[in-house]
Amino acid sequence: MAAQKARDLMTDSPAVCTPDTTAQDAARLMQDNDCGSLPVVESRDSMKLLGIVTDRDLALRILGRGQGPSTPVREAMTRNIAAVKVDDDLHEVERLMSGQQVRRIPVVDGQGRVVGIIAQADLARELGPQASKDLGRVIEKISEPR
């Protein structure tokens, strides 16, 4: 059996935003898409990955600093984030998520365009009950205090 690839577990065509998207619009996108993070792309045409913004980023880096809902996402986003390529195997996905201590990781094509996203839950579904020890190790590494 062929090794599982990122494309096999990713959620296709995730919701995205641009650096100019307001915090309020980003929060609404998260609500509408039932997600806690959005890849930040250069434009919806290029889909080139620039970073990621999470619900926690919006709360702490915008609201927590007294900024309003019209503040652009660029004020809260994390830049230079790790991403996996569509053909990366499951081991590489686990390694990056553990090493970067992230619960979600964007999936990009060969040109750096966002094509999907992988969450901890996707790993759990893919690995199944027989791999609960491996998943526990990955989650433990992701959750370690820095």
All domains of the chain, ordered by start, with CATH? 6-143 (3.10.580.10)
Question: For 51, phi and psi rounded to 5 degrees?
Answer: 175, -160
Burial letters 113-123, b for 16+ CB under 10 A, else e: ebbbbbbbebb
Token digits of residue 73: 């996402």
- pLDDT by residue for the chain (146 residues), tens only, comes to 567 899 999 999 999 999 999 999 999 999 999 999 999 999 999 999 999 999 999 999 999 999 999 999 999 999 989 999 999 999 899 999 989 889 999 999 999 999 999 998 888 887 776 555 665 666 666 666 65
Q: Write down the pTM of the prediction.
A: 0.86
Q: Are 36 and 14 in contact (CB under 8 A)?
A: no
